[in-house]
Amino acid sequence: TPRVFSGIQPSGGLTLGNYLGAIKRFVSMQEEDYETVFCMVDLHAITAKFLDPKTLAHNTRELAAGFIASGIDPAKSILINQSQVPEHAQLAWIFNCVARMGWMGRMTQWKDKAGKNAEAASLGLFAYPALMAADILIYHATHVPVGDDQKQHLELTRDIAAKFNHDYGVDFFPITEPVIEGAATRVMSLRDGSKKMSKSDPSDASRINMTDDADAIAKKIRKAKTDPDALPSEVAGLEGRPDARNLVNIYAALNEQSVEEVLRDVGGQQFGTFKPALAELAVSKLAPISTEMARLMAEPDEIDRILKKGSEQAREITAPILKKTYEIVGMVG
Ligand code: ATP
Ligand code: MG
Protein backbone atom coordinates (compact mmCIF):
# COMPACT_ATOMS: atom_id res chain seq x y z
CA THR A 1 0.00 0.00 0.00
CA PRO A 2 1.16 3.56 -0.70
CA ARG A 3 2.41 5.37 2.38
CA VAL A 4 1.51 8.89 3.52
CA PHE A 5 3.76 11.03 5.73
CA SER A 6 3.18 14.57 6.95
CA GLY A 7 4.18 16.70 9.92
CA ILE A 8 3.38 19.88 11.82
CA GLN A 9 5.76 21.93 13.94
CA PRO A 10 5.07 22.39 17.66
CA SER A 11 6.32 25.96 17.19
CA GLY A 12 3.08 27.40 18.58
CA GLY A 13 -0.58 26.47 18.84
CA LEU A 14 -2.49 24.93 15.91
CA THR A 15 -4.20 27.40 13.59
CA LEU A 16 -7.21 27.20 11.34
CA GLY A 17 -4.68 27.20 8.45
CA ASN A 18 -3.05 24.03 9.76
CA TYR A 19 -6.45 22.44 10.26
CA LEU A 20 -7.92 23.26 6.84
CA GLY A 21 -4.66 23.02 4.84
CA ALA A 22 -3.26 19.90 6.45
CA ILE A 23 -5.06 18.02 9.24
CA LYS A 24 -8.45 17.71 7.53
CA ARG A 25 -6.73 16.01 4.60
CA PHE A 26 -4.68 13.80 6.96
CA VAL A 27 -7.93 12.52 8.44
CA SER A 28 -9.48 11.78 5.06
CA MET A 29 -6.34 9.99 3.83
CA GLN A 30 -6.31 7.90 7.00
CA GLU A 31 -9.70 6.57 5.93
CA GLU A 32 -8.53 5.84 2.38
CA ASP A 33 -6.29 3.05 1.19
CA TYR A 34 -2.99 4.36 2.61
CA GLU A 35 -0.66 3.55 5.41
CA THR A 36 -0.44 6.85 7.32
CA VAL A 37 2.30 8.36 9.50
CA PHE A 38 1.75 11.75 11.15
CA CYS A 39 4.38 13.62 13.06
CA MET A 40 4.98 16.44 15.51
CA VAL A 41 8.23 17.81 14.09
CA ASP A 42 9.93 19.09 17.24
CA LEU A 43 13.39 19.12 15.62
CA HIS A 44 12.01 21.61 13.10
CA ALA A 45 10.31 23.70 15.79
CA ILE A 46 13.64 24.77 17.31
CA THR A 47 15.10 26.06 14.03
CA ALA A 48 13.47 29.49 13.91
CA LYS A 49 13.59 31.06 17.35
CA PHE A 50 14.50 29.96 20.84
CA LEU A 51 11.68 28.02 22.46
CA ASP A 52 11.91 27.43 26.17
CA PRO A 53 11.81 23.71 27.03
CA LYS A 54 8.49 23.85 28.88
CA THR A 55 6.84 25.58 25.91
CA LEU A 56 8.20 23.04 23.43
CA ALA A 57 6.97 20.14 25.55
CA HIS A 58 3.57 21.77 26.04
CA ASN A 59 3.19 22.60 22.34
CA THR A 60 4.13 19.04 21.36
CA ARG A 61 1.51 17.45 23.64
CA GLU A 62 -1.09 20.01 22.60
CA LEU A 63 -0.38 19.30 18.94
CA ALA A 64 -0.76 15.57 19.57
CA ALA A 65 -4.09 16.34 21.27
CA GLY A 66 -5.07 18.44 18.24
CA PHE A 67 -4.32 15.60 15.84
CA ILE A 68 -6.33 13.08 17.89
CA ALA A 69 -9.22 15.46 18.59
CA SER A 70 -9.46 16.20 14.85
CA GLY A 71 -9.84 12.51 14.04
CA ILE A 72 -6.36 11.01 13.73
CA ASP A 73 -6.85 7.58 15.28
CA PRO A 74 -3.68 6.05 16.78
CA ALA A 75 -5.14 2.63 15.95
CA LYS A 76 -5.20 3.55 12.25
CA SER A 77 -2.26 5.95 11.89
CA ILE A 78 1.23 5.99 13.35
CA LEU A 79 1.48 9.16 15.45
CA ILE A 80 4.97 10.21 16.55
CA ASN A 81 7.19 12.96 17.83
CA GLN A 82 10.10 13.40 15.40
CA SER A 83 12.97 13.51 17.92
CA GLN A 84 11.90 10.14 19.34
CA VAL A 85 12.53 8.37 16.04
CA PRO A 86 16.26 9.05 15.65
CA GLU A 87 16.46 7.80 12.05
CA HIS A 88 14.90 11.11 10.89
CA ALA A 89 17.95 13.08 12.09
CA GLN A 90 20.37 10.38 10.98
CA LEU A 91 19.10 10.35 7.41
CA ALA A 92 19.02 14.15 7.46
CA TRP A 93 22.81 14.19 7.87
CA ILE A 94 23.23 12.12 4.72
CA PHE A 95 20.85 14.47 2.90
CA ASN A 96 22.83 17.50 4.15
CA CYS A 97 25.64 16.02 2.08
CA VAL A 98 23.41 15.42 -0.97
CA ALA A 99 21.61 18.78 -1.09
CA ARG A 100 23.51 21.77 -2.49
CA MET A 101 23.90 25.14 -0.77
CA GLY A 102 22.43 26.80 -3.87
CA TRP A 103 19.25 24.71 -3.67
CA MET A 104 18.73 25.62 -0.03
CA GLY A 105 19.43 29.30 -0.60
CA ARG A 106 16.59 29.48 -3.13
CA MET A 107 13.93 28.30 -0.66
CA THR A 108 11.38 31.04 -0.07
CA GLN A 109 10.66 29.83 3.48
CA TRP A 110 14.37 30.28 4.29
CA LYS A 111 14.34 33.77 2.81
CA ASP A 112 11.12 34.72 4.64
CA LYS A 113 12.09 33.30 8.01
CA ALA A 114 15.75 34.37 7.97
CA GLY A 115 14.62 37.87 7.02
CA LYS A 116 17.13 40.61 6.40
CA ASN A 117 19.69 39.29 8.85
CA ALA A 118 20.50 35.83 7.47
CA GLU A 119 23.87 35.89 9.28
CA ALA A 120 22.00 35.61 12.56
CA ALA A 121 19.73 32.73 11.47
CA SER A 122 20.46 29.24 12.73
CA LEU A 123 22.22 26.69 10.57
CA GLY A 124 19.23 24.44 11.33
CA LEU A 125 16.84 26.88 9.65
CA PHE A 126 18.94 26.74 6.47
CA ALA A 127 19.07 22.93 6.59
CA TYR A 128 15.32 22.63 7.39
CA PRO A 129 14.29 21.26 3.96
CA ALA A 130 16.92 18.48 4.07
CA LEU A 131 15.51 17.31 7.41
CA MET A 132 12.02 17.52 5.91
CA ALA A 133 13.15 15.35 2.99
CA ALA A 134 14.52 12.84 5.51
CA ASP A 135 11.22 12.86 7.47
CA ILE A 136 9.41 11.79 4.33
CA LEU A 137 11.95 9.47 2.73
CA ILE A 138 12.89 7.55 5.90
CA TYR A 139 9.41 6.01 5.44
CA HIS A 140 9.70 5.71 1.65
CA ALA A 141 6.49 7.75 1.73
CA THR A 142 4.90 8.26 -1.66
CA HIS A 143 2.22 10.86 -0.81
CA VAL A 144 2.63 14.01 1.28
CA PRO A 145 -0.47 16.10 2.10
CA VAL A 146 0.57 19.71 2.83
CA GLY A 147 -0.52 23.30 2.41
CA ASP A 148 0.50 25.25 -0.67
CA ASP A 149 3.44 26.91 1.12
CA GLN A 150 5.28 23.57 1.30
CA LYS A 151 5.22 22.91 -2.43
CA GLN A 152 8.77 24.13 -2.98
CA HIS A 153 10.13 21.98 -0.14
CA LEU A 154 8.47 18.95 -1.70
CA GLU A 155 10.12 19.68 -5.03
CA LEU A 156 13.43 19.81 -3.19
CA THR A 157 12.60 16.45 -1.57
CA ARG A 158 12.20 15.00 -5.06
CA ASP A 159 15.51 16.56 -6.14
CA ILE A 160 17.30 15.08 -3.11
CA ALA A 161 15.84 11.62 -3.75
CA ALA A 162 16.77 11.80 -7.44
CA LYS A 163 20.33 12.99 -6.76
CA PHE A 164 20.89 10.31 -4.09
CA ASN A 165 19.60 7.61 -6.45
CA HIS A 166 21.73 8.96 -9.28
CA ASP A 167 24.96 9.47 -7.29
CA TYR A 168 24.84 5.98 -5.80
CA GLY A 169 23.42 4.30 -8.90
CA VAL A 170 20.38 2.92 -7.10
CA ASP A 171 16.62 3.11 -7.37
CA PHE A 172 16.09 3.38 -3.63
CA PHE A 173 14.21 6.53 -2.59
CA PRO A 174 10.80 7.10 -4.19
CA ILE A 175 9.93 10.34 -5.95
CA THR A 176 7.11 11.59 -3.73
CA GLU A 177 3.85 13.21 -4.79
CA PRO A 178 2.65 16.35 -3.04
CA VAL A 179 -1.07 16.29 -2.19
CA ILE A 180 -2.24 19.92 -2.19
CA GLU A 181 -6.03 19.94 -2.51
CA GLY A 182 -9.18 21.76 -1.47
CA ALA A 183 -10.52 25.29 -1.03
CA ALA A 184 -8.06 26.20 1.71
CA THR A 185 -4.56 25.13 0.67
CA ARG A 186 -3.41 28.63 1.59
CA VAL A 187 -5.40 30.30 4.37
CA MET A 188 -4.31 33.92 4.65
CA SER A 189 -3.76 36.16 7.67
CA LEU A 190 -6.97 37.82 8.89
CA ARG A 191 -5.04 41.11 9.09
CA ASP A 192 -3.32 40.93 5.69
CA GLY A 193 -4.68 38.96 2.74
CA SER A 194 -1.24 38.81 1.12
CA LYS A 195 0.37 36.95 4.06
CA LYS A 196 -0.13 33.31 5.04
CA MET A 197 -1.86 32.61 8.37
CA SER A 198 0.90 31.21 10.61
CA LYS A 199 1.13 29.95 14.14
CA SER A 200 4.38 31.90 14.57
CA ASP A 201 2.94 35.27 13.42
CA PRO A 202 3.51 37.73 16.29
CA SER A 203 -0.08 39.03 15.90
CA ASP A 204 -2.64 36.76 17.56
CA ALA A 205 -5.39 38.68 15.73
CA SER A 206 -3.95 37.41 12.42
CA ARG A 207 -5.07 33.86 13.04
CA ILE A 208 -7.74 31.64 14.53
CA ASN A 209 -6.22 29.21 17.00
CA MET A 210 -7.79 25.80 17.45
CA THR A 211 -7.97 26.58 21.17
CA ASP A 212 -9.76 29.96 20.76
CA ASP A 213 -13.18 30.12 22.41
CA ALA A 214 -16.37 31.21 20.62
CA ASP A 215 -16.02 34.86 21.68
CA ALA A 216 -12.42 35.09 20.48
CA ILE A 217 -13.31 33.50 17.12
CA ALA A 218 -16.27 35.85 16.60
CA LYS A 219 -14.17 38.88 17.53
CA LYS A 220 -11.28 37.97 15.21
CA ILE A 221 -13.64 37.37 12.28
CA ARG A 222 -15.54 40.59 12.98
CA LYS A 223 -12.24 42.50 12.94
CA ALA A 224 -10.84 40.63 9.92
CA LYS A 225 -9.68 42.97 7.18
CA THR A 226 -12.18 43.30 4.28
CA ASP A 227 -13.14 45.78 1.61
CA PRO A 228 -16.35 47.86 1.61
CA ASP A 229 -18.03 46.01 -1.31
CA ALA A 230 -20.71 43.35 -1.09
CA LEU A 231 -19.83 39.73 -1.85
CA PRO A 232 -19.99 38.78 -5.52
CA SER A 233 -22.12 35.90 -6.75
CA GLU A 234 -19.37 34.57 -9.01
CA VAL A 235 -15.72 33.66 -8.44
CA ALA A 236 -14.48 36.23 -10.96
CA GLY A 237 -15.84 38.93 -8.64
CA LEU A 238 -13.21 37.99 -6.03
CA GLU A 239 -10.39 38.99 -8.37
CA GLY A 240 -8.12 41.56 -6.72
CA ARG A 241 -9.95 41.13 -3.38
CA PRO A 242 -7.58 38.85 -1.40
CA ASP A 243 -9.18 39.50 2.00
CA ALA A 244 -12.70 38.79 0.73
CA ARG A 245 -11.48 35.72 -1.11
CA ASN A 246 -9.81 34.42 2.02
CA LEU A 247 -12.99 34.58 4.11
CA VAL A 248 -14.99 32.88 1.35
CA ASN A 249 -12.34 30.16 1.00
CA ILE A 250 -12.45 29.55 4.74
CA TYR A 251 -16.25 29.32 4.66
CA ALA A 252 -16.14 26.88 1.75
CA ALA A 253 -13.50 24.66 3.35
CA LEU A 254 -15.27 24.56 6.72
CA ASN A 255 -18.63 23.80 5.11
CA GLU A 256 -17.13 21.34 2.61
CA GLN A 257 -18.54 23.27 -0.33
CA SER A 258 -16.92 24.70 -3.42
CA VAL A 259 -16.32 28.45 -3.58
CA GLU A 260 -18.87 28.60 -6.44
CA GLU A 261 -21.55 27.02 -4.24
CA VAL A 262 -20.84 29.39 -1.37
CA LEU A 263 -21.04 32.46 -3.61
CA ARG A 264 -24.31 31.25 -5.08
CA ASP A 265 -25.74 31.43 -1.54
CA VAL A 266 -24.04 34.53 -0.15
CA GLY A 267 -23.56 36.66 -3.27
CA GLY A 268 -24.89 40.18 -2.65
CA GLN A 269 -24.42 39.99 1.12
CA GLN A 270 -22.48 42.67 2.98
CA PHE A 271 -19.65 41.56 5.28
CA GLY A 272 -21.78 42.72 8.20
CA THR A 273 -24.07 39.77 7.40
CA PHE A 274 -21.49 37.28 6.14
CA LYS A 275 -18.99 37.60 8.99
CA PRO A 276 -21.38 36.51 11.79
CA ALA A 277 -22.45 33.54 9.65
CA LEU A 278 -18.80 32.60 9.11
CA ALA A 279 -18.09 32.96 12.83
CA GLU A 280 -21.03 30.72 13.67
CA LEU A 281 -19.88 28.10 11.18
CA ALA A 282 -16.28 28.23 12.48
CA VAL A 283 -17.41 27.84 16.09
CA SER A 284 -19.69 24.93 15.22
CA LYS A 285 -16.81 23.07 13.55
CA LEU A 286 -14.00 24.00 15.94
CA ALA A 287 -15.69 23.91 19.36
CA PRO A 288 -16.03 20.10 19.49
CA ILE A 289 -12.34 19.77 18.57
CA SER A 290 -11.12 22.25 21.17
CA THR A 291 -13.29 20.65 23.85
CA GLU A 292 -11.78 17.27 23.06
CA MET A 293 -8.26 18.78 23.00
CA ALA A 294 -8.78 20.16 26.50
CA ARG A 295 -9.97 16.77 27.71
CA LEU A 296 -6.91 15.04 26.25
CA MET A 297 -4.55 17.69 27.65
CA ALA A 298 -5.80 16.81 31.13
CA GLU A 299 -4.24 13.36 30.61
CA PRO A 300 -0.67 14.05 29.41
CA ASP A 301 0.48 10.54 30.40
CA GLU A 302 -2.01 9.08 27.98
CA ILE A 303 -0.64 11.30 25.19
CA ASP A 304 2.93 10.25 26.02
CA ARG A 305 1.89 6.61 25.96
CA ILE A 306 0.35 7.00 22.50
CA LEU A 307 3.50 8.71 21.19
CA LYS A 308 5.77 6.05 22.69
CA LYS A 309 3.80 3.31 20.99
CA GLY A 310 3.91 5.31 17.75
CA SER A 311 7.71 5.57 17.95
CA GLU A 312 8.01 1.80 18.34
CA GLN A 313 5.81 1.20 15.31
CA ALA A 314 7.66 3.84 13.30
CA ARG A 315 11.10 2.39 14.04
CA GLU A 316 10.06 -0.92 12.54
CA ILE A 317 9.87 0.99 9.26
CA THR A 318 12.69 3.51 9.68
CA ALA A 319 15.46 1.30 11.14
CA PRO A 320 15.70 -1.04 8.11
CA ILE A 321 15.55 1.90 5.66
CA LEU A 322 18.39 3.69 7.48
CA LYS A 323 20.42 0.45 7.62
CA LYS A 324 20.01 -0.03 3.88
CA THR A 325 20.92 3.64 3.25
CA TYR A 326 24.15 3.23 5.26
CA GLU A 327 24.99 0.12 3.23
CA ILE A 328 24.40 1.98 -0.04
CA VAL A 329 26.62 4.84 1.14
CA GLY A 330 29.37 2.43 2.25
CA MET A 331 29.17 2.87 6.00
CA VAL A 332 30.45 -0.33 7.66
CA GLY A 333 30.54 -1.91 11.11
P1 ATP B 1 5.19 28.32 11.42
O2 ATP B 1 4.68 29.73 11.36
O3 ATP B 1 5.94 28.00 12.69
O4 ATP B 1 5.95 27.91 10.18
P5 ATP B 1 2.79 27.15 10.36
O6 ATP B 1 1.48 27.66 10.83
O7 ATP B 1 3.30 27.59 9.04
O8 ATP B 1 3.88 27.41 11.50
P9 ATP B 1 3.78 24.47 9.93
O10 ATP B 1 4.01 23.54 11.06
O11 ATP B 1 4.96 25.16 9.33
O12 ATP B 1 2.70 25.56 10.40
O13 ATP B 1 3.00 23.70 8.77
C14 ATP B 1 2.22 22.53 9.04
C15 ATP B 1 1.31 22.24 7.86
O16 ATP B 1 0.27 23.21 7.80
C17 ATP B 1 2.01 22.27 6.49
O18 ATP B 1 1.46 21.25 5.69
C19 ATP B 1 1.63 23.63 5.95
O20 ATP B 1 1.65 23.68 4.53
C21 ATP B 1 0.23 23.78 6.50
N22 ATP B 1 -0.13 25.18 6.64
C23 ATP B 1 0.49 26.09 7.43
N24 ATP B 1 -0.10 27.28 7.34
C25 ATP B 1 -1.12 27.14 6.42
C26 ATP B 1 -2.08 28.03 5.89
N27 ATP B 1 -2.12 29.30 6.26
N28 ATP B 1 -2.98 27.54 4.99
C29 ATP B 1 -2.94 26.24 4.62
N30 ATP B 1 -2.05 25.35 5.09
C31 ATP B 1 -1.15 25.79 5.99
MG1 MG C 1 5.24 26.98 8.40
CATH number of the domain at 141, please: 3.40.50.620
Q: Alpha-carbon distance 243 to 250, whole Å?
A: 11
Q: How high is the pLDDT of residue 183?
A: 81
Rounded Cα gap, residues 55 and 76, in angstroms: 29
The bound ligand whose nearest atom lies closest to the alpha carbon of 210 is 1
Give the residue whose CA is nearest to atom 14 of ligand 1.
8
129 in a structural domain? yes
Probe residue for ligand 1, chosen from 16, 18, 67 as the CB with the greatest number of ligand atoms within 8 Å: 18
Residues 6+ apart with CB under 8 A from 208: 15, 16, 190, 197, 217, 220, 221, 282, 286
Do 313 and 268 share a structural domain?
no
| Set 24, 49, 111, 113: catalytic member | 113
CA–centroid distance, 232 to ligand 2, in Å, is 31
- Residue 298: exposure state from Cβ atoms within 10 A (0-12, 13-18, ≥19): exposed
d(CA 8, CA 29): 16
Q: Is residue 204 part of a domain?
A: no
Is 199 noted as a catalytic residue in this protein? yes
Residue at 200 is within a domain? no
Ligand 1 atom having least distance to the Cα of 185: 29
Angle (nearest 5°) at CA 320 between 316 and 323: 145
196 is catalytic: yes
My answer on whether 291 and 303 are in the same domain is: no
Domain for residue 194, yes or no? no
Residue 304 shares a structural domain with residue 280: no
Are 250 and 24 contacting, i.e. CB atoms less than 8 angstroms apart?
A: no
In a shared domain, residues 239 and 147: no
Residue 173 and residue 92 in one domain: yes
Ligand 1 centroid to residue 138 C-alpha, Å: 22
Tell me if 274 is assigned to some domain.
Answer: yes
The pLDDT tens digits along the chain (333 residues) read 899 999 999 999 999 999 999 999 999 999 999 999 999 999 999 999 999 999 999 999 999 999 999 999 999 999 999 999 999 999 999 999 999 999 999 999 999 999 999 999 999 999 999 999 999 999 999 999 999 999 999 999 999 999 999 999 999 999 999 999 988 999 999 999 999 999 999 999 999 999 999 999 999 999 999 999 999 999 999 999 999 999 999 999 999 999 999 999 999 999 999 999 999 999 999 999 999 999 999 999 999 999 999 999 999 999 999 999 999 999 998
- Catalytic choice (116, 151, 196, 324): 196
Q: Are residues 275 and 318 both part of a single domain?
A: no
How far apart are alpha carbons 276 and 155 in whole angstroms?
Answer: 39
Q: Which of 289, 286, 287, 283 is nearest to 68 (CA)?
A: 289
* Å from CA of 66 to ligand 1 middle: 14
| Sign, Cα dihedral of 33, 34, 40, 45 | negative
| Distance of CA 217 from the midpoint of ligand 1 (Å) | 19
Gap between the Cα atoms of 315 and 320, Å rounded:
8
Same domain flag for 324 and 240? no
Complex ipTM, two decimals? Answer: 0.99
User: How confident is the model at residue 182, as a pLDDT?
Assistant: 83
For position 251, which CATH number holds?
Answer: 1.10.240.10
Are 45 and 147 found together in one domain?
yes
**324 and 179 share a domain?**
yes
Asked if the structure places residue 163 within a domain, the reply is yes
Our answer on whether the CB atom of 146 is closer than 6 Å to any ligand 1 atom is: yes
pTM of whole model > 0.95?
A: yes
**Angle formed at CA 178 by CA 78 and CA 168, multiple of 5 degrees:** 85
Do 161 and 256 have their domain in common?
A: no
Kindly name the residue from 163, 195, 199, 225 that is annotated as catalytic: 199
Specify whether 151 is catalytic.
no
Q: Residue 116: which residues within 8 A CB-CB, separation 6 or more?
A: none
Do 50 and 160 fall within a single domain? yes
pLDDT reported for residue 93:
98
Closest ligand by atom to 201 CA: 1
**Considering the domain boundaries, does residue 315 fall inside one?**
yes
In a domain, 198, yes or no: no
Please indicate if the annotation marks 213 as binding a ligand. no
Range of the domain at 63: 3-185+299-329
∠ Cα 54 39 29 (to 5°) = 145
State if residue 200 touches ligand 1 by the CB under 6 angstroms criterion.
yes
How many domains, the chain?
2
Tell me: do 14 and 154 sit in the same domain.
yes
Angle between helices 271-297 and 53-70 (to 10 degrees): 110
Q: What is the pLDDT of residue 1?
A: 86
Contact 182, 191 (CB under 8 A): no
